[in-house]
Protein backbone atom coordinates (compact mmCIF):
# COMPACT_ATOMS: atom_id res chain seq x y z
CA UNK A 1 0.00 0.00 0.00
CA UNK A 2 1.20 3.46 -0.89
CA UNK A 3 0.51 4.59 2.60
CA UNK A 4 3.31 2.55 4.17
CA UNK A 5 6.01 3.81 1.87
CA UNK A 6 5.66 7.48 2.61
CA UNK A 7 7.20 9.54 5.37
CA UNK A 8 5.72 8.55 8.69
CA UNK A 9 4.05 11.89 9.24
CA UNK A 10 2.54 11.81 5.78
CA UNK A 11 1.37 8.26 6.02
CA UNK A 12 -0.21 8.88 9.40
CA UNK A 13 -2.09 11.81 7.91
CA UNK A 14 -3.24 9.89 4.85
CA UNK A 15 -4.20 6.81 6.85
CA UNK A 16 -6.23 8.93 9.20
CA UNK A 17 -8.08 10.39 6.24
CA UNK A 18 -8.48 6.91 4.77
CA UNK A 19 -10.20 5.87 8.00
CA UNK A 20 -12.57 8.83 7.83
CA UNK A 21 -13.13 8.52 4.09
CA UNK A 22 -14.04 4.82 3.99
CA UNK A 23 -16.47 5.19 6.90
CA UNK A 24 -17.96 8.32 5.35
CA UNK A 25 -18.74 6.70 2.00
CA UNK A 26 -19.89 3.57 3.87
CA UNK A 27 -22.55 5.36 5.92
CA UNK A 28 -26.04 3.97 5.55
CA UNK A 29 -27.34 4.79 2.02
CA UNK A 30 -24.37 7.10 1.32
CA UNK A 31 -22.99 4.91 -1.46
CA UNK A 32 -26.37 4.77 -3.13
CA UNK A 33 -26.85 8.57 -2.99
CA UNK A 34 -23.40 9.16 -4.51
CA UNK A 35 -24.04 6.49 -7.14
CA UNK A 36 -27.38 8.00 -8.04
CA UNK A 37 -25.82 11.46 -8.58
CA UNK A 38 -23.05 10.08 -10.83
CA UNK A 39 -25.21 10.40 -13.97
CA UNK A 40 -26.08 14.05 -13.39
CA UNK A 41 -27.81 16.61 -11.14
CA UNK A 42 -31.10 15.56 -9.60
CA UNK A 43 -34.03 16.94 -7.64
CA UNK A 44 -34.74 15.59 -4.16
CA UNK A 45 -37.83 13.74 -5.41
CA UNK A 46 -35.87 12.15 -8.26
CA UNK A 47 -33.29 10.84 -5.81
CA UNK A 48 -35.99 9.59 -3.45
CA UNK A 49 -37.70 7.74 -6.32
CA UNK A 50 -34.49 6.26 -7.62
CA UNK A 51 -33.06 5.06 -4.32
CA UNK A 52 -35.52 2.40 -3.37
CA UNK A 53 -36.04 2.14 0.39
CA UNK A 54 -34.39 5.36 1.62
CA UNK A 55 -36.46 7.59 3.90
CA UNK A 56 -36.78 11.34 3.27
CA UNK A 57 -35.10 11.95 6.62
CA UNK A 58 -32.03 9.88 5.76
CA UNK A 59 -31.81 11.26 2.21
CA UNK A 60 -31.83 14.80 3.65
CA UNK A 61 -29.17 13.83 6.20
CA UNK A 62 -26.87 12.22 3.64
CA UNK A 63 -27.26 15.14 1.20
CA UNK A 64 -26.42 17.63 3.97
CA UNK A 65 -23.32 15.61 4.91
CA UNK A 66 -22.24 15.53 1.25
CA UNK A 67 -22.75 19.30 0.96
CA UNK A 68 -20.75 19.88 4.16
CA UNK A 69 -17.86 17.81 2.75
CA UNK A 70 -18.07 19.76 -0.53
CA UNK A 71 -18.91 16.64 -2.49
CA UNK A 72 -22.34 17.94 -3.52
CA UNK A 73 -23.66 21.38 -4.48
CA UNK A 74 -27.23 22.47 -3.86
CA UNK A 75 -28.45 24.86 -6.55
CA UNK A 76 -31.68 26.82 -6.82
CA UNK A 77 -33.26 26.32 -10.22
CA UNK A 78 -33.69 29.51 -12.25
CA UNK A 79 -37.42 29.27 -12.62
CA UNK A 80 -38.14 29.08 -8.91
CA UNK A 81 -36.79 30.12 -5.56
CA UNK A 82 -38.05 26.90 -4.03
CA UNK A 83 -36.93 24.26 -6.49
CA UNK A 84 -33.45 22.96 -5.84
CA UNK A 85 -31.18 20.50 -7.52
CA UNK A 86 -28.28 18.45 -6.16
CA UNK A 87 -25.11 17.85 -8.16
CA UNK A 88 -21.77 16.24 -7.41
CA UNK A 89 -18.87 18.69 -7.28
CA UNK A 90 -15.64 17.86 -9.11
CA UNK A 91 -14.37 16.36 -5.86
CA UNK A 92 -17.54 14.28 -5.52
CA UNK A 93 -17.42 13.17 -9.13
CA UNK A 94 -13.85 11.93 -8.61
CA UNK A 95 -15.28 9.25 -6.30
CA UNK A 96 -16.28 7.50 -9.53
CA UNK A 97 -13.03 5.52 -9.49
CA UNK A 98 -13.73 4.28 -5.98
CA UNK A 99 -17.23 3.17 -7.00
CA UNK A 100 -15.84 1.51 -10.11
CA UNK A 101 -13.25 -0.33 -8.01
CA UNK A 102 -16.03 -1.66 -5.76
CA UNK A 103 -18.15 -2.72 -8.78
CA UNK A 104 -15.07 -4.40 -10.30
CA UNK A 105 -14.37 -6.19 -7.01
CA UNK A 106 -17.97 -7.48 -6.90
CA UNK A 107 -17.89 -8.61 -10.55
CA UNK A 108 -14.52 -10.32 -10.04
CA UNK A 109 -15.75 -12.25 -7.03
CA UNK A 110 -19.01 -13.38 -8.58
CA UNK A 111 -17.22 -15.55 -11.12
Binding site for its own copies (CB under 8 A): 1-4, 14-15, 17-19, 21-28, 30-32, 35, 38-39, 91, 94-110
Instruction: Quote the least distance from Cβ 18 to its own copies, whole Å.
Output: 6
The smaller minimum CB distance to its own copies, of residues 77 and 101, is found at 101
DSSP annotation of 85: E
H helical segments located in 26-89: 30-37, 44-50, 56-68
The smaller minimum CB distance to its own copies, of residues 3 and 77, is found at 3
The smaller minimum CB distance to its own copies, of residues 2 and 79, is found at 2
Instruction: Quote the least distance from Cβ 67 to its own copies, whole Å.
Output: 16
Instruction: Quote the least distance from Cβ 84 to its own copies, whole Å.
Output: 24
C-alpha to C-alpha distance for 94 and 91, rounded to whole angstroms: 5
Q: How far is CA 46 from CA 16, 50, 51, 64, 90, in A?
A: 35, 6, 9, 16, 21
Amino acid sequence: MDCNHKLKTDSKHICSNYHEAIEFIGRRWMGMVIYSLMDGPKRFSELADEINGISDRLLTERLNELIKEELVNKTFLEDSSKKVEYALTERGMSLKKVIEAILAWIAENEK
